[in-house]
Structure 1
């Protein structure tokens, strides 16, 4: 499995780990995907829908970064392709916000798929200790299913 640092706006990249998921400075968990970006995106979408969840939005962050790099004075290509799948769970979101209404800051949830120099990865941001760990467990389960397909 591969690893990738996904902090803030997909700004920095960490070392790829062959052992499994990597936690990048406790901000995210990233896994390698053994296949194409298209297959990873399809597997991720299928895993989210398979949990009975609706994908609210797909952020085409890779296209945006590519389209705007010259506008911001950069010539760095961060990703060949990158998308973030945004979704929510009404059941978990209600539970998390009943535990602490300020958990609204963590909603909706997102899982990214990215291709950087031929290395395809799936990952998600890490949530704080406490009730939000139930959401993190859901994200881990979804990514695990996408990796298994």
Structure 2
């Protein structure tokens, strides 16, 4: 019994260690304006957006296929990009930082609320990437 409880406790701690958090900022405006703000902030940093993932559209489109009629987001996009300078720097520090690339900033609308955010990164070299994402998100919500 004691072994089973210890195994369960360690399993729960491992799950917590793997959980990802997000930093979010409320946007006082439309989803479209927030998306434009994120795009402008990324490009303003001299970065190229590789892809825009239309997560909200996918969830709406596939809801019935998976047996759900719940609307999670009215709109939700993730802007995916990379920074050659920062990526090289963090991967030279630890090649396994490849697991965090590419980077993304999301815009999501639930009801009337619009949110801009990004996932957090571990302590160490990846904090420089997180600072860049924070700068982009803050820039997008302040426009």
TM-score category, normalised to shorter length: 0.7 to 0.9
1:1-149 mapped onto 2 (5 Å cutoff): 27-149=21-143
The number of aligned residues is 125
Per the normalisation by structure 1, the TM-score is 0.82
CA–CA distance in structure 2, aligned partners of residues 148 and 40 of structure 1: 10
Identify the structure with bigger relative contact order (alpha carbons < 8 Å, sequence gap 6+): 2
Query: Structure 2, unaligned stretches of length 5 or more?
Result: 1-18
Query: Structure 1, unaligned stretches of length 5 or more?
Result: 1-24
Hey, which of these two has a bigger chunk of helix by percent?
2
- Partner of 1:71: helix, strand, or coil? helix
Per the normalisation by structure 2, the TM-score is 0.86
Q: Measure how far apart 1:147 and its partner are.
A: 1.2
Highest CA radius of gyration, 1 or 2? 2
Q: Measure how far apart 1:148 and its partner are.
A: 1.3
CA–CA distance in structure 1, aligned partners of residues 72 and 20 of structure 2: 21
